[in-house]
Amino acid sequence: MATAPALVSLLRDEFDESPWYGYVVLESTHLVVLHRVSDRYGLDGYCAFRREDVSDITRDFERSDLISRALRLKGQSPLVPEGIDASSLRTLMESVERKYGVLVLSRERSAPGEIEVGAVRMSSEHSYVLHWLDTEASWSPDDRAFKYADVTYIEFGGEYETTLLQVARDRERASDA
């Protein structure tokens, strides 16, 4: 019988002023995937971090009781996302796209403060090209290649990116009708 995911506080000293909260639902030698707790004390998608960037993961932290109780009262519990391969960043991105259709990428070292929302259009062993999904839920092609090595974290399955994808798909269906 598998053990229940652990509620943790995760900090990356290089990037974060405050910790991320969530349940560790997948782990590999290279990555840690959390079912993320939002600032509204609800589960809202997943975040994947490079293990090498993580400076601290702790189960005993100040807000753990508050978060646990809030989620219990809301009837929310962590889920391990099926079909997601966290063995490498590339396999994670590919499996997330197959299951969720879109992902959010951050390249905090090379592009601080920027995120990219989209689907992988092309990939090679070391790089990828995105089909962008902008803030207006419109697809935009782009031929710029980005390196997997530059990605510092990935988000997927959250309300924001899921809503953008739903609107974009609805527009596509309407234009095909």
Q: What is the pLDDT of residues 104-147, one digit of tens each?
A: 999 999 999 999 999 988 888 899 999 999 999 999 887 889 99
Query: What is the location of CATH 2.30.30 in the chain?
Result: 1-81, 82-177
Residue 30 makes CB contacts below 8 A (sequence gap 6+) with 50, 51, 52, 86, 87, 88, 89
Least confident span in 1-5, 152-156, 164-168: 1-5
Residues 3-29 have a mean pLDDT of 95
Looking at every residue in the chain, the average pLDDT score rounds to 94
Higher pLDDT, 177 or 97: 97
Please tell me the distance from the alpha carbon of residue 107 to that of residue 143, in angstroms, as a whole number: 17
Please tell me the distance from the alpha carbon of residue 13 to that of residue 55, in angstroms, as a whole number: 6
- For domain 82-177, the CATH architecture is Roll (2.30)
Cα dist from 29 to 20, 136, 139, whole Å: 20, 37, 34
Residues 4-22 have a mean pLDDT of 95
pLDDT at 153: 96
Cα dist from 88 to 32, 57, 61, 102, whole Å: 11, 20, 29, 18
pLDDT at 29 over 60: yes
The reply to whether CATH 2.30.30 applies to domain 1-81 is yes
Which sign, positive or negative, has the C-alpha torsion 176, 132, 49, 90? positive
50-63: pLDDT as tens digits: 999 999 999 999 99
Q: Indicate the pLDDT class of residue 3, thresholds 50, 70 and 90.
A: confident
pLDDT at 1: 45
Nearest to 101 by CA among 175, 163, 28, 177: 163
